[in-house]
Structure 1
Amino acid sequence: MKAINKILVGLTLLVVWSASVTAQELKVEAVSSVSIDELPEYVVVTSENTKLIGGININIDYKKSDYEKVLKELESLLQNRKKLRIRNQTDLLNAMSKLGFEYVNAYNGKENNISLGSGKDVEVIGGQAKYRVNMVFKKKEKYQS
């Protein structure tokens, strides 16, 4: 009897886990109004750490691009923390993979230094650097036209 109970519990957990994984995969597709077929083969996503408020800021340069409309939609989707819950670059890499892109390369953008000071001798009491990283993504083979 104990063996049957263990098997039933194991099967129940397997079904619950399987449903959870499927729901997570469907969640990404359901929240995305972006059609991967309309996106260009390569996309460069710029992320900047925002340590003062936590998380990262995400931008895609789409101005004057033939893909402006769909790149703007992709940027909006990536910035929406309630939909894809991107809080760091690891989350960004995983979200782009689920959306049908593979990581190709990354290069540093410019660095902005912010320092705080006080008094006429300007004593530095703290500092914060913001780093921009440009990540290059390419459509996965099955999505290329």
Structure 2
Amino acid sequence: MPASEDKKLGIQDKTEPRDMTVVLSNDLREFAGQKWPTMNHKWRKAKLASMLRMSERRIRSIYEADPAARIRADEAERISALVHQGDVEDAALSTRIAELEAQVARLVEALVGDEVAGSRLAPRVPGRTAFDRRGPSTGRRSTD
């Protein structure tokens, strides 16, 4: 039968569950590798099992893309939520970083503007600049 007739009749491809297992396996491996780059796979699987509230054996089947593993809908949703939670956190962090950079830029501009204005108004004393921290000099030394 052609593929279009299979879809009309509601016949599913036998490789579809396998593809879902491989996709979730890749997602879990990528997520775990980025979150815990220095840890080994055994530790990562144990941590994922505790985070997803699944048995370590079940996580191992999904993590290693076991062809006999059949992914339940709730498991796929939990895994997707965990993996994409990092994307949401990354977006929130990126937004916050952009806000902080904008605030720092405004503060730097204000400080530079104040220093430039202060240097124009400060009296010119030989040997001292407007940016000297010791304050304006009277021209006298401490030994006088």
TM-score range, shorter chain: under 0.3
Q: Which has the larger radius of gyration?
A: 2
Q: Which has the higher contact order (CA 8 A, sep 6+)?
A: 1
Whose helix fraction is larger, Structure 1's or Structure 2's? 2
Whose strand fraction is larger, Structure 1's or Structure 2's? 1
Q: TM-score, normalised by structure 2?
A: 0.26
